[in-house]
Amino acid sequence: MLSTLLLLTFFLPCCLSIPIVSSDVLDDLNFFKDYFQRFFFIKESQDYTVEDQLRFLQHFFKLEETGLLDEPTRAFIRQPRCGIRDTADYSLFPGRPIITNNPITYSLINYPEGMKKRTVDEVLQKATQVWSSVTPLEFQRVYSLESDIEFAFLAGEHGDGYPFDGEGNILAHAFAPNPDYQGAVHFDSDERWSYTNRGINLFLVAVHELGHALGLEHSQDPDSIMFPNYQYQDPKFFQLSNDDIRGIQKLYH
């Protein structure tokens, strides 16, 4: 409770003698609590104070560890990002699951509004080539319901227990390889997808989510495509970071 009051006091004008908490501050605090619960909460963290949670997140993302919901922290958690939980450096899913088929087949269920189908097809193909360029993997598109990885553009609650939130925070998610289930990469269809810096660049998000589908979790390295927050860069000059390459080659060599 004390840490929460300190956080709220941080945002109050110094001239006030009676604490008045604005709705914006409460919204930010509630957003942070939901963010931490969604992406970091584990059994061991259930007794963390809000200040502890803030310091944990700030340390994880290499922000200044103030323990306050300051402007850099607020701005960071509001950035568009992947819906998968966060871990550390390059990391692998528990048990190091991989896709054993090679070539890996993939299928596309539908297309987003605002992009030509041909462009989407080319974007996904280029995304697979990013990972095949540093591994022995090959990828092959198929036009049947049975494939190793299925791409789809979906909105809101779509049946997998990880609902999308409309245009904004959560862009996409994917699931670790599982020998008993088809792999899935889901994009939020409410986003404004593109192949430029307008809206959300589909190529960059597809490369990231494919990393998950192949067995990589998130990285703390901001230069890594597996960093959880979306960061635009020109696809023409895109290269995997050393962290990405080490991670994927740990699985496929």
**Residue numbers annotated as active site:** 209
Question: What is the distance between the alpha carbons of residues 87 and 60, in angstroms, rounded to a whole number?
Answer: 9
Print the SS3 string covering 142-181: CCCCCCCEEEEEECCCCCCCCCCCCCCCEEEEECCCCCCC
Q: Tell me which residue of 166, 203, 140, 25 sits closest to 33, measured CA to CA.
A: 25
* Residue located via tokens 């006030």: 16
* Spatial CB neighbours of 45, under 8 Å, sequence gap ≥ 6: 36, 52, 53, 56
Query: Backbone phi, then psi, for 173, in 5-degree steps?
Result: -155, 165
Rg (C-alpha) for the chain, rounded Å, is 20
